[in-house]
Chain A
Amino acid sequence: MRLSAGLRRFVGGWTILVLLFLYIPLVFVVLNSFNSSRTFAFPPSGLTLSWWKAAAHNSAAWHALGATAIVGVCAASLALVLGTCAAFALQRYPVWGKQPISLLITMPITLPGIVTGIAMNTTFHSVLGWNLTLFTVIIAHTTFCIVVVFNNVQARLRRTGTNLQEASSDLGATAFQTFRWVTFPQLRGALLAGGLLAFALSFDEIVVTEFTAGSTRTLPLWIFDNLFRPNQAPVINVVAAVLTVIAVVPVWIAQRYGDDEA
């Protein structure tokens, strides 16, 4: 490489600064959950574990976590089925309209969430007269989760080709056997990464959720409700710290099993 020494030093130094910018807020969140000051003044006057104990017994937070997990698992499962179907159809069959279909799948995540949120709120609540519950949240989340499964599975299908499937059927396997023993193992990593991404997307979503959840609370909605209440700050700080630390888990799994191109 022929970048001059000065330029290399500059971009290297810049990289360090940007990494600090990315990580200082996250470190601060974790640190603050141990801050013994009730007003969370900085620098901390002392460290304590008592907020963590209090948070562990906060039933509303656990309840919201449960609701979020239900939505995440249901939305990710539905998105896995729908996204995989779409990826197979576009990647393996001569169907018409591949470009507009890809665009339609991508739209829910490209256009502002508030638009999707109001659209679904109006449809579910005002027009269909439904009560807004976890059920409506699952419908909304599935809609924008399809694209991440679709992208992952499509990338994997593009890479693997069809030779093994054809060898399998030439050797006398039934369609089901080929799927069970050849296609599925090839796709497993992409399905895992796609499903995980879909779950994470759903787990964190707040805008569309706020418009489709009615009075039910997912974890992001619960956090947002309590964000401005000073007496809830200790519990919020602990929940924030936990969410920050567990963010490492999906990165590790995706790194191990995922597709780089996805």
Chain B
Amino acid sequence: MTALVPTENLRAGRRPSRRRPAPLGYLLLLPPLAWLFIAYLGSMAVLLVSAFWSVDSFTGQVVRVTTTGNFGAVLHDPLFRTVTLRTVGVALGVTVIDALLAVPLALFMAKVAGPRMRIALMVAVTTPLWASYLVKAYAWRGLLAPNGPLDWITGGHSIGYGLPATVITLSYLWLPYMILPVYAAFARVPSSMWEASADLGATSGTTLRRIAAPLAFPGIAAGSIFTFSLSLGDYIAVQIVGGKSQLLGNVIYGQLVTANDQPLAAALSFVPLVVVLLYLFALRATGTLEQEAR
């Protein structure tokens, strides 16, 4: 009997370790990690360092002397503050709209539709993700255009281009990213929980509020990471349908390309980065992300 492999090893699905030597694992990790460290983390480090440089106002050349002036400007310039607040507002608005659109649809997919209908809806929801971002934003430019379809239907009272058009377009672009995790959250809930609630005398409204909403919340949180962070960095859609509105991305782009002030652009780009990280930490603090990962 002693010659046999110990049974507890087999039961745990473990294999003799000679099959998976760690050094080979590290060898496999070398190319992807080298790439990410050099191309990605290296660039991010350069970005951080360059945010402390400045531009010689006379020659327009970047001066590589450390100064905190750029971060001072980012924190104290009222223009940057207004644009940051507006951008966060847009990102939150997009997140709320997408959640409102997604929850009933996800509920239908998970708890009303049959298996075939569910697959069809899954395909219907994911297909628009493969259509080009620019084409989708351009579609809204066409729909909202003067003399366009919405103008025609409303008899000339379409909202036209501007900040509301930007919020609608961004909501449209990121909606599937919200639907999929909310659906997954609903699908994980056993039907018996709904039935128990009904059997115990709860009305549909009560079941929705007391059972469905808390269960959907981790899904909404997961989806909101996409809708919030993608909206926060976006500066293309607002150029296409936003009229003259400016978001954080436009200001950063303007500093880099138009004003040719790379260090200030670098410092400014830490604003969306910090906001996204704060958002992730806030979600983590509520514990919803761990629930989602389960």
With A81-B31, A206-B134, A224-B134 already in contact, the answer to whether A22 and B128 are too (CB < 8 A) is: yes
Residue A122 at the chain B interface, CB threshold 8 Å: yes
Q: A70-92: contact bitstring with B at CB < 8 Å (1 yes, 0 no)? A: 00000000000111011011101
Q: A136-148: contact bitstring with B at CB < 8 Å (1 yes, 0 no)? A: 0001101100100
Return the chain B residue nearest A6 by Cβ: B204
Interchain CB contact under 8 A, A42 and B28: no
From B29, B108, B269, B273, give the contact of A12 (CB < 8 A): B108
When distances are taken between beta carbons in the complex, the residues of chain B under 8 Å from A96 are 22
Interchain CB contact under 8 A, B22 and A94: yes
Interchain CB contact under 8 A, B149 and A29: no
Interchain CB contact under 8 A, A4 and B204: yes
Residue A223 at the chain B interface, CB threshold 8 Å: yes
When distances are taken between beta carbons in the complex, the residues of chain A under 8 Å from B236 are 206-207, 224
A255 to B111, CA, bound (A): 22
With A93-B24, A166-B15 already in contact, the answer to whether A114 and B235 are too (CB < 8 A) is: yes
Residue B115 at the chain A interface, CB threshold 8 Å: no
Residue A119 at the chain B interface, CB threshold 8 Å: yes
Interchain CB contact under 8 A, B112 and A8: yes
A240 to B143, CA, bound (A): 14
Residue A116 at the chain B interface, CB threshold 8 Å: yes
When distances are taken between beta carbons in the complex, the residues of chain B under 8 Å from A8 are 108, 112
Residue A229 at the chain B interface, CB threshold 8 Å: no
Interchain CB contact under 8 A, A86 and B135: no
Interchain CB contact under 8 A, B112 and A22: no
A8 to B50, CA, bound (A): 56
From B35, B46, B194, B262, give the contact of A3 (CB < 8 A): B194
Return the chain A residue nearest B127 by Cβ: A251
A: number of interface residues (CB 8 Å): 89
Give the interface size class of chain B: 35 or more
Residue B265 at the chain A interface, CB threshold 8 Å: yes
Interchain CB contact under 8 A, B32 and A119: no
When distances are taken between beta carbons in the complex, the residues of chain B under 8 Å from A23 are 124, 128
A196 to nearest B CB, angstroms?
10
Interchain CB contact under 8 A, A1 and B19: no
Residue A120 at the chain B interface, CB threshold 8 Å: yes
Residue A243 at the chain B interface, CB threshold 8 Å: yes
Return the chain B residue nearest A196 by Cβ: B130
When distances are taken between beta carbons in the complex, the residues of chain A under 8 Å from B124 are 19, 22-23
Residue A171 at the chain B interface, CB threshold 8 Å: no
Return the chain A residue nearest B192 by Cβ: A2
Please report which residues of chain A, range 186-240, place their CB below 8 angstroms from some CB of chain B when the two chains form the complex.
200, 203-204, 206-207, 211, 220, 223-224, 227, 236, 240
Return the chain B residue nearest A9 by Cβ: B112
B257 to nearest A CB, angstroms?
9
From B42, B104, B145, give the contact of A15 (CB < 8 A): B104
When distances are taken between beta carbons in the complex, the residues of chain A under 8 Å from B292 are none
From A1, A28, A204, give the contact of B143 (CB < 8 A): A28
Return the chain B residue nearest A91 by Cβ: B25
Residue contacts A-B, CB under 8 angstroms, 16 given:
A2-B191, A11-B105, A12-B112, A21-B172, A26-B136, A29-B139, A32-B142, A104-B33, A112-B229, A113-B233, A115-B270, A118-B47, A119-B266, A162-B15, A207-B234, A240-B139
* Interface contacts beyond A143-B40, A250-B130: sample of 5 additional A-B pairs, CB < 8 Å, sorted by A: A1-B191, A81-B31, A95-B26, A108-B36, A248-B127
Query: Which A residues have a C-beta under 8 Å from some C-beta of B?
Result: 1-4, 6-8, 10-12, 14-15, 18-19, 21-26, 28-29, 32, 39-43, 81-83, 85-86, 88-90, 92-96, 101, 104-105, 107-108, 110-116, 118-123, 126-127, 139-140, 142-143, 146, 150, 161-162, 166, 200, 203-204, 206-207, 211, 220, 223-224, 227, 236, 240, 243-244, 247-248, 250-251, 255
In order of increasing CB-CB distance, the 5 nearest A-B pairs are A112-B233, A93-B25, A25-B139, A119-B47, A119-B43
